[in-house]
Structure 1
Amino acid sequence: MNYFKKILRFAGPYRKYGFLNIFFNILYALFSALSFAALMPMLNVLFGKTEKLMQPPVYQGLGKLEEYFTDYMNYQITQYGGDNPMNGLVIAVVLVLVLFFLKNVFNYLAMYFITFLRNGVLKDIRNKMYEKIVNLPVSYFTEKRKGDVIARITSDVLEIQHSFLSVLELIVREPLTILFTIVVMFLLSAKLTLFVFIFMPIAGMIISRIGKSLKRKSDRVQKEQGEFLSIVEETLGGLRVIKAFNAESRFIKTFKNSTDRFFRFSNTLLNRQNLASPTGEFLGILVIGVLLWFGGRMVLIEQTLDAAAFITYMGLAYNILTPAKAISKASYGVRKGNAAAERVLSILESENPIKDRKDAVSLSEFNHQIELKDVGFKYEDEYVLKNFNLTVPKGHTVALVGQSGSGKSTIANLVARFYDVNEGAILFDGHDIRGVTKKSLRNLIGLVTQDSILFNDTVRNNISLGKEDASQEEIIEAAKVANAHDFIMQLPNGYDTNIGDGGNKLSGGQKQRLSIARAVLKNPPIMILDEATSALDTESERLVQDALEKMMENRTSLVIAHRLSTIQNANSIVVLKRGKIVEQGTHEELMKSKKGYKKLVEMQTLG
């Protein structure tokens, strides 16, 4: 119920639909009971049991309530039917039809209004989850599989709608239908109704026993769904590699193993869930059977109940079965929804360690230097950087070189505050970046990565990502600086061409030049280039390198370099090894020192 309350908070903006649903559900429940009760005067007319009453009956207390109810109905039939029994029958039939019609109208109106609440909550949960996913730090998604996150925002949220929010429909309607029906049953025969109450708790206990393990089984199903969605996502992302290595059969086997587990878990879950309906129905019919025996005894032997009242009573008793079954099914739904809600709320309630402090300042410009002061950082247990110090003065280009795993990309991630340092501090103009708003910090930074991250959109929208209000002239100017304008104009629709998922309609060099154009248009004072030319051929590298040099003019640049030929003009080259600086200086200085950097250059030259 704790998860249910948390999900119910999302219903706040749609409470008016909830109140309208409750109102029409009350009317539905009332008319549901009355429509069956109206069968009694019709049966009395058919059986010739209608007593002609010319005066309205007088209420004589709770003990004579049953007699008052019957006499009142007979009085109404007498008033409108007169001496002709067919008139009385027509009136009784019309009464039954009107009551059943109103019952169904109110049922439709109740469902009509709850639809807005259910779909509104579904929309808001998804929006909130997407907002949370976008705001969570990069580190969160190194621990979670993408497919699992996709499963939570799709199938888990749908499960909440089908289970938890279905309960909202039942929470008023079904209990009230049972309540009103029992009231009418009590009016017809108090003795028989008390007898029913002995059997109902027993039936309820049996049904509740079946559903105890449902949440655990549902949780396994949801997790497995996340697993095979992850496999699909990885397959689509790496299809070329899978085909190149003839690994199709291996991935098909992995996927089949996951869907086999999903098949087994789903079967167990659904079979347990499907047991609720037949069990509930059999127990209901068992109660009806006992009622037939006990009520029949009252009609035939004791003669304390007439036949028309008994038939009406049985109709009312059967009328309880449908809402009772719905309630038992809803209790299964809540258990199943619990597992889905737990997975959704685990994302919504995830603590974001990288957030703005209350006293965070906003930096509008960069004037002096970036300083990494005694920085220590670890992804898990082992430190990647320890007591690391580096200063990047304004207007300077500082290049980071070294073997894979030496900490180059980690430094770039820390400067952009994708991660927070464990020790020490990173200072922009003397301000610890943990005390600066993330938005203002990242407004100062442009990023070009090794993997050109582009989106399934037009060239124009990809370039203007960091500056949505950019004019066409500004976008073209940025593309020209990035040596991208010429190839863009050759595309079918120029700047309005859709470049496909991940920019897959473009070559590697074209994608990289679009990434550079995007950074140029943003026009930040600080540029981070993370191995921006390492994945390119020689001609593309020349074009991209030319674009990078134009972009870095009069900017502060932190360059992570794989190809050392691209950083010879850097103001300072920092050689890293296992998170520590082993050499630092200009290209000429480091070549003269004849240490690690010179060896790296010679190895690449030989290559």
Structure 2
Amino acid sequence: MAGKSGNAFDFDLFKRLLRYTQPYKLTFYFVAIAAILLSGFAVARPYLTKLTIDESIVPKDGGNLLLYVGLMIGALVLEVICQFSFIFFANWLGQQVVRDIRVNLFEHMLNFKKQYYDKSAVGRLVTRAVSDIETIASIFSQGLFMIISDLLKMLVVLGVMFFMSWKLTLLVLAVLPFILYATRVFQKKMKVAFEEVRTQVSNLNSFVQERITGMKIVQIFGREETEYERFKDINDKHRNAWVRTVWYNSIFFPIAEISSSITIGLIVWFGGLRVVESNTLSLGVIIMFIELAQMLFRPLRQIADKFNTLQMGMVAANRVFGILDTESTIENNGTKEAKNLVGEIQFKDVRFSYIENEEVLKGISFEVKAGETIAIVGATGAGKSTIINLLSRFYEIDSGSISVDNINIKDFTLKSLRNEIAVVLQDVFLFADTIMSNITLNNENITEAEVIEAAKQIGVNKFIETLPNGYYYNVKERGVMLSSGQRQLIAFLRAYVSNPSILVLDEATSSVDSYSEQLIQEATDKITKGRTSIVIAHRLATVKKADKIIVMDAGKIVEIGNHQQLLQQENGYYRNLYEVQFMQEEEA
């Protein structure tokens, strides 16, 4: 997809980018026409200056002087109109394109496997979706069309120069190869430099985002100084990357300026001799050539500068398309709609690994009857959370099968399957929005009345109404304005109002107060009643009430049965767990 580092330009990538302009063809062509007209008006002014000098000032003809001044004013007005149209619509087109790319990118990211996000830094993805895409906009607003306009202007300028005096034109062109060579080297160096800049910007964003999110941990463990030093190091690399681009600019632009000055000097010397000795050139032609030479070299310098912008945009496009080309989506070829499921679940010899050849689940099999509550217990890392992730198809299994109502979950459409399964995770995530929005997730089919009624049924209405603005209290980023117990209650309510056929709970309450724990227990009893439920159980009360307990160890199911059955197994895993953990809870 992408060009190799150091290549001056990647035409395949550029053509791919241009495809996004197809819906805006008329605007694209209008901007192109405006660029052509600008090149014509730009040359018109020096030519009118030449006529004014040769036909009005030198012969001292006041009548012609007014005429040519009027023509120059008219040409300037038309040039300003074209310039305005060109700049406005080029920027408008750029914003339309980046809007479409950003929508495509976000839609693509919405369908990524959870595994993709496990391995990707959030800061880098934010950089791709925000700042990198904004940089792409500059390709159209400051890069592509500006370069085209400048190139057309240079071609028109050369044509007029040859027409007026081929000798003076050759004199100008004698200097041109040096600046062209310098421009070419400059472009290649800047391509590499800008790739490094984008990398360091991404690293910086990622570091800052993670440290701000995890600032509590940084402060708890007294890592401020260490993180400060690491930030300084990353910031230095970011600065050095930018300084490298400044270094190349500081070399190139003086070379371009000197070349332009030398050219003007040669025009004055050679043209002046022709005027003085043979009168083969007019004063107006010399003045015109000085203006045209500046117009020839100035766009060349600007092209190099705009090529920097184009290169930065291309590097950003390369990174964005890298995500768009990433195939990391869950296969969604199912044709059946999962509606009003009975809730029978069957795992058959399911094997799964997050990392190849490192199995987390090692051939587990179990059945859950409709309406049953299954508790899953076991040590950390036994594979409990993996089971609930696989049921919702956040990951693809390596082998075996998972069925709901005797239908393989792969045969259901992904959206309909997930609509029938509500998941309450141990690490509750709330958006920086109102409680109402966090419960309904802006689902228009769930009314405020339904939310309040559901809250009353599971016993959380009173706590919500004590908050400022009640259901419209803004919980801020990740729900920091609520306690962990309150966040979990909101998550329970969110699951309950979705009216799922299957409920999956991770009911950890290690960091909640006794009152919240009581509310959570009551909520658990209410929302699991009458529907198939799989609970990663952390409390004895939940385990004892479960119809069936699945005991896991190191990715395998070691025991299955109810509370009383499992206690009767001498030296059983569950009995040992009960004696070590649950008995203490019961005594307390």
1:206-234 CA-to-partner distances (Å, cap 9, x unmatched) read 22112323223222222222222222222
Aligned to 1:376: 351
Spell out, residue by residue over 1:344-372, the C-alpha distance to the aligned partner (whole angstroms, 9 max, x if none).
Answer: 11112211330312x53222231362111
CA deviation profile, 1:471-518 (whole Å, cap 9, x unmatched): 222111121233210011111211122122112111222111111111
Instruction: Tell me the equivalent position of 2:437.
Output: 461
Instruction: Give the match for residue 474 of structure 1.
Output: 450
1:586 and 1:466 mapped to 2: Cα distance?
Answer: 40
CA shift for structure 1 position 546: 0.8
Contact between 2:348 and 2:366, CA under 8 Å: does it hold in 1? yes
The aligned residue for residue 132 of structure 2 is 156
Matched, 1:20 2:30: yes
Q: Which moved more, 1:167-176 or 1:496-505?
A: 167-176
* Structure 2 equivalent of residue 596 of structure 1: 573
Where does residue 205 of structure 1 map in the other structure?
181
Q: Which runs of 5+ in 1 are unaligned?
A: 50-83
Seen in structure 2, the aligned counterparts of structure 1 residues 525 and 338 have a Cα distance that, compared at 3 Å, is: same
Match of 1:363 in 2: 338
| Rounded Cα–Cα distance in structure 1 between residues aligned with 2:120 and 2:552 | 30
Runs of 5+ in structure 2 lacking a partner? Answer: 1-10
Instruction: Find the counterpart in structure 1 of residue 478 from structure 2.
Output: 502
Residue equivalent to 2:408: 432
Look up the match of 1:60.
none
In the alignment, is residue 242 of structure 1 matched against residue 242 of structure 2?
A: no
Q: Deviations over 1:366-419 (max 9, x none)?
A: 136211112111111311112221212211111111111111111111101000
1:290, CA displacement in angstroms?
3.0
Contact 1:481–1:551 (Cα < 8 Å) also in 2: no
2:48 corresponds, among 34, 38, 41, to 38
In the TM superposition, what whole-angstrom CA distance separates every residue of 1:262-311 from its partner, at most 9, and x where no partner exists?
Answer: 11111112322443333322223333333333333433334322222222
Q: Which of 535, 538, 545 is matched with 1:562 structurally?
A: 538
In structure 1, which of residues 378, 383, 395 is the aligned counterpart of residue 371 of structure 2?
395
Is the CA contact (8 Å cut-off) linking 2:503 and 2:528 kept in structure 1? yes
8 Å CA contact 2:187–2:304 kept in 1: the answer is: no
- Give the greater-gyration-radius structure (CA): 1
- Structure 1, 189-198 or 30-39: larger mean CA deviation: 189-198
Secondary structure of the structure 2 residue equivalent to 1:386: strand
Q: What residue identity is the alignment partner of 2:20?
A: F
SS in 2 for 1:524: coil
Partner residue in 2 for 1:324: 300
Equivalent residue, structure 2, for 1:307: 283
Does 1:29 find its partner at 2:4? no
Number of paired residues?
A: 572
Secondary structure of 2:444 counterpart = coil
- Letter paired with 2:344: Q
Give the Cα–Cα distance (whole angstroms) in 2 for the partners of residues 347 and 165 of structure 1: 24
> Take 1:170 and 1:587, find their aligned partners in 2: how far apart are those partners?
75
The within-5 A match list for 1:332-351 is 332-351=308-327
What is the one-letter code of the residue matched to 2:395? Y
Deviation at 1:146, TM superposition (A): 0.7
Distance in 2 separating the partners of 1:12 and 1:167: 18
Equivalent in the alignment of 1:2:
12
Root-mean-square deviation (CA, aligned residues, Å) is: 2.0
SS at 2:114 equivalent: coil
Secondary structure of 1:426's partner?
strand
Output aligned runs, 1:485-564, within 5 Å.
Answer: 485-564=461-540
Mapped to 2, the partners of 1:226 and 1:270 lie a distance apart of 20
- 2:7 is aligned to none
Equivalent-residue separation in structure 2 for 1:383 and 1:289 (angstroms): 76
Distance in 2 (CA, whole Å) between partners of 1:525 and 1:587 is: 25
1:41-66 C-alpha deviation (Å, 9 max, x unpaired) = 210145535xxxxxxxxxxxxxxxxx
Query: Within 2, Cα distance between the matches of 1:36 and 1:249?
Result: 62
Report the Cα distance in structure 1 between the residues aligned to 2:94 and 2:307, rounded to whole angstroms: 18
Distance in 1 separating the partners of 2:550 and 2:349: 16
- The CA deviation string for residues 178-207 of structure 1, in whole angstroms up to 9 with x for no partner, is 122222222211232244334323321122
- Residues 56-455 of structure 1 correspond to what in structure 2 (within 5 A)? 85-163=61-139, 165-357=141-333, 360-367=335-342, 369-381=344-356, 382-455=358-431
CA–CA separation in structure 2 for the residues paired with 1:568 and 1:282? 87
Higher alpha-carbon deviation: 267-276 or 21-30:
267-276
**One-letter identity of the residue aligned with 1:39:** T
CA distance in 1, matches of 2:540, 2:266: 90
TM-score normalised to structure 1 length: 0.90
The amino acid that maps onto 1:416 is S
3-state DSSP class of the match of 2:552? strand
Q: Deviations over 1:143-202 (max 9, x none)?
A: 111111111122212222224652232243112211222222222112322443343233
Q: TM-score, structure 2 length as denominator?
A: 0.93
8 Å CA contact retained: 1:148, 1:223? no
Residue identity matched to 1:461: S
1:369–1:428 Cα contact (<8 Å) kept = yes
- Contact 2:93 2:140 (8 Å CA) reproduced: no
Structure 2 partner of 1:71: none
Deviates more, 1:31-40 or 1:125-134: 125-134
Task: Give the percent of matched residue pairs that are identical in Structure 1 and Structure 2.
Answer: 33
Contact kept? 2:123, 2:206, Cα under 8 Å:
yes
Change (3 A) 1:390 1:287: farther
Q: Please tell me the residue identity of whatever aligns with 1:291.
A: I
2:111, 2:330 within 8 Å by CA — same for their partners in 1?
A: no
Residues 523 and 183 (structure 1 numbering): CA distance in 2 closer, same or farther, change over 3 Å? Answer: same
- Name the CA shift for 1:28/1:447 in 2 (closer, same or farther; >3 Å): same
Matching residue of 1:73: none
What amino acid does structure 1 have at the position aligned with 2:580? Answer: M
- Contact 2:111–2:329 at 8 Å: present in 1 too? no
Distance in 1 between residues matched to 2:139 and 2:51, nearest whole Å: 40
CA distance in 1 between counterparts of 2:80 and 2:194 reads 34
Aligned-pair distance for 1:527? 0.4
For the Cα contact (< 8 Å) 1:362–1:437, is it kept in 2? yes
Determine helix, strand or coil for the equivalent of 1:568.
Answer: helix
